[in-house]
A and B are shown apart, each in its own frame.
Chain A
Amino acid sequence: MTEVRTGWETVIGLEVHCELATETKMFCSCPNDFGAEPNTHVCPTCLGLPGSLPVLNERAVEFALRVGEALHCAVPTESIFHRKNYFYPDMPKNYQVSQYDEPVCGNGWLMIGDKRIGIERAHLEEDAGKTSHMGGGGGGRVHGAEHSLVDYNRAGVPLLEIVSKPDLRSPDEARAYVAELRSVLEAIGVSDVKMEEGSLRVDANISLRPAGSETLGTRAEIKNMNSLRSLARALEYEAERQAEVLESGGTVVQETRHWDEEAGRTHSLRSKEESHDYRYFPEPDLVPLQPSDEWRERVRAAMPELPSARKARLMEAWGISDVDASVLVATAGLADYAEAAVAAGGGASGRDVTNWVTGDLLAHLKESGRTPSALALPAAGLAELVKLVADGTLSRPLAKEVLSAALAGENGGSPAAIVAARGLAQVSDEGALAAAVQAVLDAHPAEVERYRAGDDKARKKLRGFFMGTVMAAMKGKGNPGVLNRLLDEALPG
């Protein structure tokens, strides 16, 4: 149990809105794309023109069924759609087609480490459009804007809202839950899971209660966190805020609060008293959703390996650490890349590949914002690099140089070609290496004399000097193992 302050337990439940990566929208055949010219991916249905009707996208249902499988959800034989009624200019019909008391996925769970986090439900719904407030120096805010523009390209994009039970006990746990959920959604191919682009959006319900209490305290709903980091920060702030309120004898107000990333605080959006009455009622334009047993069986049979299973498999097969395996499966496409490198042949071991992938390569991904599949260095190229190091062709320091050149696209991203072009191949020829050692010793008689007379400490320092000088003379290409032996043989005993 994590406590914010002594005596309080934090209780968190998360609502994750996941944009489903279907080809077309939820209820029409418009493309489901991000970043097109405003209002080009629209039709009578997603614009809510009079007379238009929704037709359910089967692919969206299939994705929901996949999520149901991955999260061990109870999937009822029938679920229905409801209308959620409220006015908002970027919502074309002024109601959202959603699911209410009969969602497509019921009770399930997701493991974070050894802890089971309950899933309350997952339901399908349509996204709204996007409003931009223009002019008036308001910096995109509605207050003071001269006019607003609405882009309906996103209207009708399928969303799956995944609601956890209030089983999370700290901001870190909340963060771990979203990270795990994100990698699950990515692994089963249902979403782009990009929090920054809004294809994964998280709202958090958080409350405090006296440690040991079983009753839930009054919660606040926090919105507008667009990264895992901001989720944890917002929850830490909010837990502190509620603790202060409670400790000063106040009561927490049930309300929606907005996370201000810059200010590092939450502020009240609307309280429950002002909240909408959504007037839910069954959507009469759609028939009940009844996924057949055959369909569900097909989905089950086609389920890919989940991140937790993959992690266990890679730890076992490659002998890598829990931490490294977690990094591989938690980063979109990284485990695929590593497995492809191992599979490319040439004897690159899983452990060596993992070291490169979770080290320099991951740093490059973070820096460049690329995905593994978009790297200039293909997985087979990494395998080649690992092999060049393993067979002694390339020293480790030079291998790092080759890696960055390959990632920059040099020589078509081929490590072997870079090594050849830059003349970086390691020199292991004993005659050449011995000559280089002797030349350095001959050039530094005073140092050799001091070595002869010196104690262990002085000798160690001087030995480092000789080694560095030899390596510099060989432009770093000397095989360090062979050089070490030759140097020991050449130096006075």
Chain B
Amino acid sequence: MSAGTDGLTGRTAAELAALVAGGEVSAVEVTDAHLARIEALDGQVRSFLCVRPEVARSAAAAVDAARAAGEVLGPLAGVPVAVKDMFCTTDLPTTAGSRILEGWQPPYDSTAVSRLRAAGAVVIGKTNLDEFAMGSSTENSGFFPTANPWDLTRVPGGSSGGSAAAVAAGFAPLALGTDTGGSIRQPAALCGVVGLRPTYGRVSRYGIVAYASSLDQAGPFATTVADTARLLEAMWGHDRLDSTSIPSAPEAVLAGLDAGVAGLRVGVVEELAGVEGIQPEVRSAVDAAGTLFEKAGAVVDTVSVPSVEYGLSAYYIIAPAEASSNLARYDGVRYGLRAPAGEVAQMNALTREAGFGTEVKRRIMLGTYALSAGYYDAYYGQAQRVRTLIIRDFSRAYERFDVLLAPTSPTTAFELGAKTADPLAMYLSDVCTIPTNLTGACAISVPAGLDGAGLPVGVQVLAPALGEAVLFRAARALEAGFAFTARPALAGVSG
């Protein structure tokens, strides 16, 4: 640890919350330690778009004051959380990684953030992302790319690359991301941390900038499965402000985390484990995960989910279609960027031309086309039918298995710039994660070790909708088996 951080960074949220609750350390000290580390090292990683030390410190001071007043502290009291810049925050600007929203200050908090604040968490800063969460490398950020803390010449994955990198780099023990096609799990895998995409409707979407509404779902990053569960439990559950929020109360996950996997039926998804272009070390990690499950008493077999091969195509119709409509509001009239022009339609056009990046424009065009009169049925309609087919195939698989096993990303972190000229190659990064978004189910990426180049490999466990409890139990078993504790060695960091 660098001087002055006193061993407060690099700890789990559970440890920090206990230290703060026990009065061994103040929330302000915890926050200062993390701010100092960000100050010292984020120049290389560039995981944050915005950090305002005084804002974080004042939130931490409020936790300390509450403790001093004898109030009951929340489960995350004094724990720093890095928040993807898709979540509206009243005390920090929210940009969605886009120039079109540069400097926009929301007048309201997203439900997820307000629940974390209520649990005592301290928002340490807003993290970088692919613009409007459209991308798999964080290189589509409208501001700057983020580097992978394990190798600064490589991408952290995306779109929640800033959050994954921040947790991997020890800037915060916890982070929030959003996962529309794999945007939590893929960067978690590439950065060697845990990342969960919960069941659609479990975490409120209220106050999260929309990309593709029927696929978007917020979720946690952490260094451990237990911390991931802790962050999830602090923010999930019904929210009347999100009509698609699931009304039933979620089943506790943290409590049953260590119940083991004896007798659990695990299916290795053939089409994903053997996906075209898969890196041999990723394939080996999936096999190793299978072996670990067996050792822990689970029953492992292969399973075929034939329709997953159409997932990517369906996703790249549905997500852009919804995005083309969701992003129509960025027109320069009410907030954000406004390009000077003589009349409204021209102002709208010039604003959008100047404010949106290439990938965003590409998806708006794709989506607009897919919804056009005469094409709707062939594209959007067909994609929805594929979605139904994939849901059916997965429910058949879940008749035989409790959870499924697959790679998270076909490869480990690639070089910055390697895929920016080839959108299709970039899209293929999400081939293993997209099916979960299309089915509305849950999945988690767990670190499985390092490849030959010293880069993290992730494996993915999938469970049916509302299956978080069994998903977490399985993930915890893998975590225990892999016993992955390596951390990236950032320059100037010792220990």
Contacts and interface: CB of A to CB of B under 8 A. Distances in A.
A85 B325 CA distance: 7
Contacts of A53: 205-206, 241-243
Contacts of A56: 243
Contacts of B322: 281, 284
Contacts of A286: 243-244
B335 A49 contact: yes
Contacts of A50: 88, 94, 96, 101, 104, 106, 209-210, 329
A275 to B, nearest CB: 10
A92 interface: yes
Contacts of B96: 50
B321 interface: yes
Contacts of B206: 51-53
Contacts of B333: 89, 150
Contact of B325 (A44, A92, A95, A150): A95
A287 B244 contact: yes
Contacts of A87: 328, 331, 345, 348
A79 B94 CA distance: 35
A285 interface: yes
Contact of B110 (A48, A51, A54): A51
Nearest to B322: A284
B329 A94 contact: yes
Tell me the interface secondary structure of chain B in the complex. loop
**Most B CB atoms within 10 A — which of A50, A148, A277?**
A50
A44 B243 contact: no
Contacts of A83: 325
Tell me the interface secondary structure of chain A in the complex. loop
Interface string A66-104: 000000000000000001010101001111000000000
A281 B334 contact: no
Interface stretch (B29-37, B354-362, B368-376, B411-419): B368-376
B371 A279 contact: yes
Given A51-B88, A51-B206, A281 B242 contact: no
Contacts of B213: 284-285
A153 to B, nearest CB: 14
Interface in B283-342: 321-322, 324-325, 328-329, 331, 333-335
A124 to B, nearest CB: 14
A403 to B, nearest CB: 53
Nearest to B381: A281
Nearest to A86: B328
B240 interface: yes
B88 A95 contact: no
B372 A279 contact: yes
Interface in A249-289: 277, 279-281, 284-287
A243 interface: no
Interface string A18-62: 000000000000000000000000001001111111111000000
B379 to A, nearest CB: 11
A94 B106 contact: no
The 6 closest A-B pairs by CB, nearest first: A94-B328, A284-B213, A279-B371, A284-B214, A51-B207, A50-B209
20 contacts: A44-B106, A44-B107, A49-B88, A50-B329, A51-B94, A51-B106, A51-B108, A51-B207, A53-B241, A55-B241, A56-B243, A85-B371, A87-B331, A87-B348, A89-B344, A279-B373, A279-B376, A281-B322, A284-B212, A285-B210
Given A92-B334, A286-B243, 4 more contacts: A49-B88, A50-B106, A85-B371, A281-B380
